A = this chain, B = another copy of it.
């Protein structure tokens, strides 16, 4: 029970180190575009070519990795496709966003909800309220306005769906003058889209959809880059600052990005890095067992083991 602290960095306690390495190999191969020479992979992962060779051999025997007969380069194999397809099938924005909803509710003390693009507009599917919620009649199943809600605006700006844009025009045409007056004067739809995109895709709204309520909404993308959901937080206008660099928008942006990542989305659509490794000497003593989450390890163990 005492247990001093044998490992100063228990990233994988009780796991299988070789499995971690195997995973890093697959990810490294994917990061290189799905195709790489042994040396390039060794550079990417900072591991001995001989070590990688053995892993690749086993992964190849399982069909996750294949080889180009000519260039004898390693590439991801057919089984990797099947694994990927199964993974995509599991890609579920509602499940992925659940923890984010809870965190936003707790850290901001705000009402947080998730909406998905439905055929009638953004539809609320999950809602988390703090102990002391602002009174809103939003419930799961509720369909929000496209133009007069932060959620709808975030969706509109992120989506290229023609039907959605047509719905926005209908909504605008059907709106009474009093509501219409709350929007920009000329080309209100284009103006809203421009504004939201200028804010990095995050839509903010104050006393618009509901008086006394401010809201911020961010889109959630999947691995194809398509909008799969919108994450929204809202609170009383007085105590809920929605400035671009404020805590609310910052937290929302961070959470939305994390959820998107959980769906396989990658920031700049540049999932695979440079084809070759422009790095320090790949060979040598460096021998990271893995190397995925954080880069740059403080030091590599020398040949003689330190007394610890």
| Chain A residues within CB distance 8 Å of chain B | 11-12, 14-27, 29-31, 33-35, 54-55, 57-59, 61-64, 66, 68-69, 75-91, 95, 98-99, 223, 261-264, 266, 271-272, 290, 292-293
Residues of B near A77 (CB, < 8 A) are: 87, 262
A264 to B77, CA, bound (A): 8
Residues of B near A26 (CB, < 8 A) are: 64, 83
Q: Are A27 and B83 within 8 A (Cβ)?
A: yes
Q: Are B16 and A18 within 8 A (Cβ)?
A: yes
Question: When A33-B89, A81-B264 are in contact, do A18 and B22 touch as well, CB less than 8 Å?
Answer: yes
Q: Could you show 21 A-B contacts with beta carbons less than 8 Å apart? A: A12-B58, A15-B54, A16-B18, A18-B18, A18-B22, A19-B22, A19-B55, A26-B83, A27-B82, A30-B86, A34-B86, A34-B90, A68-B95, A78-B261, A78-B264, A80-B84, A81-B84, A81-B87, A81-B263, A82-B266, A84-B85
Q: Are A90 and B27 within 8 A (Cβ)?
A: no
A98 to B15, CA, bound (A): 40
Q: Are B19 and A86 within 8 A (Cβ)?
A: no
A79 to B26, CA, bound (A): 9
A18, A19, A59 interface centre (most CB from chain B within 10 Å): A19
Q: Are B30 and A82 within 8 A (Cβ)?
A: yes
A18 to B78, CA, bound (A): 20
Question: When A19-B55, A21-B19, A55-B19 are in contact, do A86 and B90 touch as well, CB less than 8 Å?
Answer: no
A99 to B170, CA, bound (A): 58
Q: Which chain B residue has the least Cβ–Cβ distance from A32?
A: B86
A30 to B89, CA, bound (A): 10
A89 to B57, CA, bound (A): 21
Interchain nearest-CB distance for A293 vs B (Å): 8
Interchain nearest-CB distance for A80 vs B (Å): 4
Residues of B near A27 (CB, < 8 A) are: 62-64, 79, 82-83
Residues of B near A19 (CB, < 8 A) are: 18-19, 21-22, 25, 54-55, 58-59
Residues of B near A78 (CB, < 8 A) are: 87, 91, 223, 261-264
Q: Are B82 and A264 within 8 A (Cβ)?
A: yes
A173 to B79, CA, bound (A): 44
Q: Are B21 and A86 within 8 A (Cβ)?
A: no
Residues of B near A95 (CB, < 8 A) are: 68-69
Residues of B near A25 (CB, < 8 A) are: 19
Q: Are A82 and B15 within 8 A (Cβ)?
A: no
Q: Which chain B residue has the least Cβ–Cβ distance from A264?
A: B81
Interchain nearest-CB distance for A52 vs B (Å): 10
Q: Are B91 and A87 within 8 A (Cβ)?
A: no
A78 to B261, CA, bound (A): 7
- Contacting A86 at CB < 8 Å: which of B63, B69, B85, B271? B271
A24, A29, A63, A263 interface centre (most CB from chain B within 10 Å): A63
Ordered nearest first, which 8 A-B pairs have the shortest CB separation? Answer: A84-B84, A81-B264, A18-B18, A34-B86, A76-B87, A15-B58, A23-B62, A80-B87
